[in-house]
Amino acid sequence: MKNLKFPLFALLALSIFATSCKKKHNHDENGTVKMSFTHTWGMNNAPFALNTQLIHPMNGDTMNFSTFKYYVSNIQLKKNDGSWWTMPESYFLVDVSSAASLTLEIPEVPEGTYIAFKYTMGVDSTRNVSGAQAGALSTTNGMFWSWNTGYIMVKAEGTSPQSSTGNFAFHLGGFSGANSIVTTTEVPFTDNLVVSHETTKTIKMRSNPARLFHGGESVSNGGTVMMPGTRAKTLATNFYGGVTFLGIE
């Protein structure tokens, strides 16, 4: 029995070590990256703000936005060896009314040199068909259709005299088939992104809500979209096309 003491202790210690559920991270090998969004209006990049009268430079519509929010998800970074690092549980709701939501935090990125990134506008099909979700994907965010399952991926609401009701509400979504508006974009970095635990770099992005009505669209075509379909696809594709990478800071 006496000579059993040591192996017993070792075995117990080993099993506790092996079974502890929490992953131990070596923080020295990881850094944090941020991605920030600024919002502008029209091709001259005038400032965009809620509760402000704005004139659309192409169709002349007068618009006053009360809400503008959209999902950005599945952020990936490409290392200089060609491999991709994928952020786990990477879902963000960018809400112009909440300053904190405009900067996305990408934690625990392995240190190294990165040459490109990928991001998805919208919420992937899987999360639209997998039941109750949490965090940015919670139904408490008002970005989920109760009667026709799926995420509202872009929500723009406000008033406009060009709408027959005086109001507009564009709830854009669609995750399957021809009506899917889930869009993944790969962008090369102009200067490499160097991730280290000592500094936090920010990937600067710009969104332009005026782009919803690019190429002939107007509130006067109807101020309401409440489900997936061809018009939702047109508006979302227009908007996503205007999301621009500005540089690393």
The footprint of another protein (CB under 8 A) covers: 1, 4, 7-8, 11-12, 14-16, 18-21, 128-134, 138-140, 144, 146-149, 227, 229
Write out the DSSP string of the chain.
-GGGHHHHHHHHHHHHHHH--SPPP-GGGEEEEEEEEEEEETTTTEE--TTSEEE-TTT--EEEEEEEEEEEEEEEEEETTS-EEE-TT-EEEEETT-GGGGEEEEEEEESEEEEEEEEEES--HHHHSS----GGG-GGGS-EETTTTEEEEEEEEEE-TTSTTSEEEEEEE--SGGG---EEEEEEEEEEEEE-SS--EEEEEEE-GGGGG-TT--GGG-SEE-SSSHHHHHHHHHHHHT-EEEEE-
As measured in angstroms, the least distance from the Cβ of 141 to another protein is 9
CA dist 6 and 175 (Å) reads: 59
As measured in angstroms, the least distance from the Cβ of 27 to another protein is 23
Comparison of 56 and 171: residue with beta carbon closer to another protein:
171
As measured in angstroms, the least distance from the Cβ of 52 to another protein is 27
Residue type present at position 85: W
Comparison of 85 and 144: residue with beta carbon closer to another protein:
144
As measured in angstroms, the least distance from the Cβ of 227 to another protein is 8
As measured in angstroms, the least distance from the Cβ of 22 to another protein is 10
Residue 76 β-bridge partners = 86, 118
Comparison of 11 and 246: residue with beta carbon closer to another protein:
11
Comparison of 169 and 194: residue with beta carbon closer to another protein:
169
Comparison of 82 and 178: residue with beta carbon closer to another protein:
178
Comparison of 73 and 76: residue with beta carbon closer to another protein:
73
Site of tokens 């402000």:
52
As measured in angstroms, the least distance from the Cβ of 133 to another protein is 6
Comparison of 157 and 162: residue with beta carbon closer to another protein:
157
Residue type present at position 32: T
As measured in angstroms, the least distance from the Cβ of 115 to another protein is 35
